[in-house]
Amino acid sequence: MNKATRTFSLMTLIIIGASLRASASDLAAKPSKPNVIYVLADDLGYGDIGCYGQKTLLTPNLDRMTKEGMLFTRNYSGSTVCAPSRCVLMTGKHTGHSRIRGNGRQLLNEDDFTVAQLFKNAGYVTANFGKWGIGHPPPPDNPNRHGFDEFFGYVNMYHAHNFYPEFLIHNGKEVKLRNELMEIFKQKESPSIRGLGVSKEKIDYAPDIIRRRMFEFIDKNHKQPFFLLYTPNTPHANNQGGKDGLGRGMEVPDYGEFAKEEWPEEEKGFAVMIRDLDNDIGNLMTLLKEYGIEKDTLLIFSSDNGPHQEGGHKMEFFDSNGDKRGLKRDLFEGGVRVPMIARWPGKIPAGKVNNSIVSFQDLMATCAELTKSPYPETDGVSMMPALYGEKTDDISRTLYWEFPERGGKQAILKGNWKLIRYNVRKPRMELYNVQTDPTESTNLLDQEPERAKHLLREMLSIPDKNTIFK
């Protein structure tokens, strides 16, 4: 057993041991409202886990979660990159209406209503552990401003590139770690990218510290209704790692059981990250059972966008996008169709595969139905009918994305038809039926001109004045 595994196993045994020592009265004390745990991986592709077709990397706990819950085949992220996708998840507004539309310097305003605020208004204790990704190190921003009672991790997405940072943020204050950045990055620091870079002293592995805090939160708050957003920064890369001899981009303490594989080091690191994500899900399910709250807890697992090809990792090595075309920063299915598994014993039918169209923008409406809480107008609908296995109206369901980078991209999905528009100044378009052509290999623009015109009109009517696509 390697050092990282020993540390994690010890932490898990301590927590689970505490749960086993709980009295009968403790276990009987169940929340009056369902707990919600949403686990959001970072740059995990549609094909990266076993239940979605991964052949090389084993994910027994996620596979078990699928057998005990429901696997969605048509879950769509809020965007094709981190920050806007998380903004959509938190606000329920797609990228034609949301505050943040690209990876940049945008921040949520204090009056942007979030899922966390909805839960807090409903009497829940709320927490986010991991990568917030839609703010800057405080001041000026802090997830506690947006409905979270507790936050621990990375506020800024650039800071989250470093798995051995000099500090993490706890409720608006820096928590110093024993790592030390390379001088080249200290010289380039600005408030919006503080902490970005590669560390020369790598002692404290942030993902391990964050997951320990996450489990401690459940240990402390399991007797009351809670909303937990767990957002590990894996399997994202340290984008600065691997450049100019600075280090490996898939930063992990060691390669463990993958050390013997004849793979590039970056791919060994990627495999460790997938293993750790899977272990997190296994330990979450165990802990919920030991505390007697698994039947009172909706557990959801997903990813913020499609797979990356950064930090030395190659998407093709593990076939991260499965049979889907494209990757992160694309509006093809590989960039925005992401895994989603939901488990709620006794409520969600076990072992079911659901082909309904669901999206990040639906989380707000879903949680509002769960908690019977009011919420502002959003672009989503409740996923509860789909979660219960009821038939949904997918033919008329419309999803919209826009992405300002690389000349600008825009897409609309209506039922099974997707229209993609490239380049703001010299637009070109592609049309696909993603039901009959899931690999998006046959552009039907010339064969279906009237359908394309109709979709284009609807696409152009959706975004507000802040779009670049007018």
Average pLDDT over residues 185-203: 88
**High-pLDDT (> 70) share of the chain, %:** 93
Interhelix angle 265-290/3-20, rounded to 10 degrees, is 10
Exposure of 281 in the CB half-sphere (CA atoms within 13 A): 29
Average pLDDT over residues 24-39: 67
Provide CATH code, domain 406-461: 3.30.1120.10
Residue 286 has pLDDT above 80, yes or no: yes
What is the rounded distance in angstroms from the CA atom of residue 299 to the CA atom of residue 285? 9
Q: Residues 351, 67: contact at Cβ < 8 Å?
A: yes
- 426: confidence class by pLDDT, cuts 50, 70, 90: confident
Residue 31 has pLDDT above 50, yes or no: no
Average pLDDT over residues 305-311: 96
Three-state DSSP at 83 gives: helix
Q: Which of 79-88, 309-318, 421-430 has the lowest mean pLDDT?
A: 421-430
| Local structure of residue 212 (DSSP, 8 states) | H
Q: Which pLDDT does position 29 carry in this prediction?
A: 42
Which CATH architecture describes the domain 31-392? 3-Layer(aba) Sandwich (3.40)
Average pLDDT over residues 247-252: 92
What is the rounded distance in angstroms from the CA atom of residue 89 to the CA atom of residue 325? 23
Query: Which is more confident, 6 or 380?
Result: 380
Query: Which is more confident, 413 or 423?
Result: 413
Cis peptide preceding 235, ω within 30 of 0: yes
Residue 18 has pLDDT above 60, yes or no: no
What is the rounded distance in angstroms from the CA atom of residue 350 to the CA atom of residue 387? 10
> Position 279: which residue type?
N
Strand partners, 180: 201
Exposure of 369 in the CB half-sphere (CA atoms within 13 A): 13
Closest CA to 131 of 199, 81, 181: 81
**pLDDT tens digit string along 373-402?**
999 999 999 999 999 999 898 998 999 999
Residue 26 has pLDDT above 60, yes or no: no
Residue 5 has pLDDT above 80, yes or no: no
Q: Which pLDDT does position 106 carry in this prediction?
A: 82
Closest CA to 402 of 319, 324, 464, 457: 464
Residue 454 has pLDDT above 90, yes or no: yes
Task: Tell me whether the CATH fold assigned to 31-392 matches the one assigned to 406-461.
Answer: no
Structure tokens belonging to residue 120 = 């807090």
What is the rounded distance in angstroms from the CA atom of residue 126 to the CA atom of residue 145? 12
What is the rounded distance in angstroms from the CA atom of residue 36 to the CA atom of residue 34? 6
Q: Residues 438, 324: contact at Cβ < 8 Å?
A: yes
Interhelix angle 3-20/206-221, rounded to 10 degrees, is 0
**pLDDT tens digit string along 149-184?**
999 999 999 999 999 999 999 999 999 999 999 999
Domain spans, the chain = 31-392, 406-461
- Calculate the CA dihedral of residues 94, 430, 53, 398 and round it to 10 degrees: 30
Residue with tokens 């010339």: 446
Average pLDDT over residues 297-315: 97
Residue with tokens 């994500």: 277
- 13: confidence class by pLDDT, cuts 50, 70, 90: very low
Query: Helices in 55-159 by DSSP H: which ranges?
Result: 60-68, 82-91, 115-121
Backbone angles phi, psi at 154, to 5 degrees: -105, 125
Query: Helices in 204-314 by DSSP H: which ranges?
Result: 206-221, 265-290
Residue 10 has pLDDT above 70, yes or no: no
Average pLDDT over residues 185-194: 82
Residue 273 has pLDDT above 80, yes or no: yes
Residue 25 has pLDDT above 70, yes or no: no
Residue 213 has pLDDT above 80, yes or no: yes
Residue with tokens 């595969």: 353
Q: Which pLDDT does position 322 carry in this prediction?
A: 96
What is the rounded distance in angstroms from the CA atom of residue 114 to the CA atom of residue 135? 14
Average pLDDT over residues 317-345: 97
**High-pLDDT (> 90) share of the chain, %:** 82
What is the rounded distance in angstroms from the CA atom of residue 377 to the CA atom of residue 126? 22
0.85 exceeded by pTM: yes
Average pLDDT over residues 173-201: 90
Q: Which pLDDT does position 364 carry in this prediction?
A: 98
- 233: confidence class by pLDDT, cuts 50, 70, 90: very high
Residue 4 has pLDDT above 60, yes or no: no
- 139: confidence class by pLDDT, cuts 50, 70, 90: low
Q: Which pLDDT does position 248 carry in this prediction?
A: 86
What is the rounded distance in angstroms from the CA atom of residue 154 to the CA atom of residue 213? 13
What is the rounded distance in angstroms from the CA atom of residue 368 to the CA atom of residue 364? 6
Phi/psi zone of residue 408: left (φ > 0), alpha (ψ -120 to 50 degrees), beta?
Answer: left
